């Protein structure tokens, strides 16, 4: 039975907070923005129907402060909370508390978050669903066990944090003699990042591509895919450029991967938006993880399907079925997204500061998702992403040309950004031809050439 949502508190900031606010407004739902003291003049506070301050700048005192968020929801009369991505979006305890307080959590159940938030249980779920996984282990209890298991798997191996994400707690081991020491480092990093030092091993794939499938599932047993995204342009395991569809998938392989992703969702009776991520090794693919939230790169899927994923996520939270969506999806053209960050374009070190001049590109097939403006102060407290530039065209070649044009038009002054890196990347033959993998950016990047691109922007 469907339930109504009248007012949504958006438990986030930046461009994703704006994205949710816009989706709600089109659905006729009122919104409440929350903000730290340093975000008092942020755009999401201006475009929401109401705004509530929830604490000082540091995220643990504001955007991660669950009691303050719940107080803001009660004060404003919100009957639902949307977590966006990052911050509390995959915290099962937060989802549980929201539901116990009588509000709707716009996302999956806490139980689904726990199953898929733990990478070991997620692997086991995929295996039960008949989805390929890489040879690996359960939770490691000692260096001796790690060595015995690694010998069975075969070197190189990769150590991964069970509660991990974003490349933290992830270490590649090629030399057996270095395994014990690297294991300690990975466990310490995982403990510091996630409050849990649990790690496991997998066989390491040397030259994979990172391909993920968007799934949607309702509370009536319906589940379907909305095609794939290619996310192989990465640095330090962080995505830089995403596109849809993937240029190297055959129709047969696309169908197999999409079917596998839906099988994972059905295996846990999932309901909400979700993304099933795979490593692609030639024509073989392996389950990596499932993200139980809206992804940063959801925009490219929207562009090739014509479906507003955030609105769909809200509808699913009310209990609506998927009956209104077409069951068969074919890519409508090609879409590419560039993440524009306030960072040094070569070292990737964050570069907070004040934007003194700003001009975003426009034109046919261009979309900008951003929360910044001229005079905006980029805070050191939060993620450095300033904007997402998304283009759509009839095919990949034309989408690349459109992105080159938009990158040339974009002006952000007063701070360093990674615009020079993107401008360099879109001239590189391996990327243009589609012949690249997850190591391409870090192995092929020419610092001097990127610096020259930076000089050309001045």
Beta strands in 342-423 (DSSP E): 353-354, 357-359, 366-370, 377-378, 385-393, 411-413
Question: Directed axis angle between helix 110-117 and helix 92-100, to 10°?
Answer: 180
Fold designation for 135-203: Dna Ligase; domain 1 (3.30.1490)
The total number of residues shown for the chain amounts to 458
Domain ranges of the chain: 7-106, 135-203, 209-457
* pLDDT score for 458: 64
* pLDDT score for 1: 47
Geometric angle at alpha carbon 265, from 66 and 303, rounded to 5°: 80
Going by C-alpha positions, the residue among 326, 274, 294, 3 that lies closest to residue 112 is 274
156 upstream amide cis, omega within 30 of 0: yes
Fold designation for 7-106: Rossmann fold (3.40.50)
Domain 209-457 CATH class label: alpha beta
* pLDDT score for 171: 94
Structure tokens at 189: 């990093």
What amino acid positions are annotated as catalytic residues? 293
Structure tokens at 82: 């949307």
Helix (H) or strand (E) holding 80: strand 80-82
Contacts for 267 with CB less than 8 Å, ≥ 6 apart: 125, 126, 128, 129
The pTM (predicted TM-score) of the whole model is 0.95
CB count, 10 Å around CB of 185? 13
Q: Judging by DSSP bridges, how do beta strands 366-370 and 385-393 pair with one another?
A: antiparallel
The whole-number mean pLDDT for each consecutive block of 10 residues of the chain, a chain of 458 residues, reads 87 98 98 98 97 97 98 98 97 97 97 95 96 96 95 96 82 96 94 90 96 97 96 94 97 97 98 98 96 98 97 97 79 96 96 98 98 97 97 98 98 98 98 96 95 87
Helix (H) or strand (E) holding 32: strand 30-36
């Amino acid at each position: 039975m469907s339930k109504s949502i009248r007012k949504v508190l958006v438990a986030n900031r930046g461009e994703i907070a704006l994205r949710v606010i816009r989706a709600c407004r089109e659905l006729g739902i009122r919104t409440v923005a929350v903000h730290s003291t340093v975000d008092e003049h942020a755009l999401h506070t201006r475009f929401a129907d109401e705004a509530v301050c929830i604490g000082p700048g540091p995220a643990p005192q504001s955007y991660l402060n669950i009691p303050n968020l719940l107080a803001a929801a009660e004060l404003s009369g919100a009957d639902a909370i949307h977590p966006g991505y990052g911050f509390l979006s995959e915290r099962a305890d937060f989802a549980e508390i929201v539901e116990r307080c009588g509000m709707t959590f716009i996302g999956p159940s806490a139980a689904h978050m726990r199953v898929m938030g733990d990478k070991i249980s997620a692997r086991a779920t995929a295996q039960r669903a008949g989805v390929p996984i890489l040879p690996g282990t359960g939770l490691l209890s000692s260096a001796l066990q790690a060595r015995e298991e690694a010998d069975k798997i075969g070197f190189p191996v990769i150590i991964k944090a069970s509660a991990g994400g974003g490349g933290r707690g992830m270490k590649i081991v090629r030399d057996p003699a270095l395994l014990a020491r690297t294991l300690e480092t990975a466990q310490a990093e995982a403990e510091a990042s996630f409050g849990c030092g649990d790690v496991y091993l997998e066989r390491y794939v040397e030259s994979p591509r990172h391909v993920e499938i968007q799934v949607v599932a309702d509370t009536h047993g319906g589940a379907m895919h909305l095609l794939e995204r290619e996310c192989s342009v990465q640095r330090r395991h962080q995505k830089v450029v995403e596109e849809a569809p993937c240029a190297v998938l055959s129709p047969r392989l696309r169908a197999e991967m999409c079917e596998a992703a839906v099988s994972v969702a059905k295996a846990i009776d999932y309901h909400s938006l979700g993304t099933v991520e795979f490593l692609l090794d030639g024509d073989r693919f392996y389950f990596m993880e499932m993200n139980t939230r809206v992804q940063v790169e959801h925009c490219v899927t929207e562009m090739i399907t014509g479906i507003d994923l955030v609105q769909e996520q809200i509808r699913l939270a009310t209990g609506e079925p998927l009956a209104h969506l077409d069951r068969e999806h074919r890519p409508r053209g090609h879409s590419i997204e560039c993440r524009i960050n306030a960072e040094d374009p070569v070292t990737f070190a964050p570069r907070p500061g004040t934007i003194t001049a700003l001009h975003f590109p426009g034109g046919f097939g261009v979309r900008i998702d951003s929360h910044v403006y001229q005079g905006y102060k980029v805070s050191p407290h939060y993620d450095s992403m300033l904007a997402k530039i998304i283009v759509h065209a009839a095919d990949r070649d034309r989408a690349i040309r459109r992105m080159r044009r938009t990158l040339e038009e974009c002006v952000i002054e007063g701070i360093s950004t990674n615009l020079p890196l993107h401008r360099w990347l879109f001239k590189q033959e391996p990327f243009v031809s589609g012949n690249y993998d997850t190591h391409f950016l870090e192995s092929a990047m020419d610092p001097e050439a990127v610096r020259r691109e930076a000089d050309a922007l001045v």
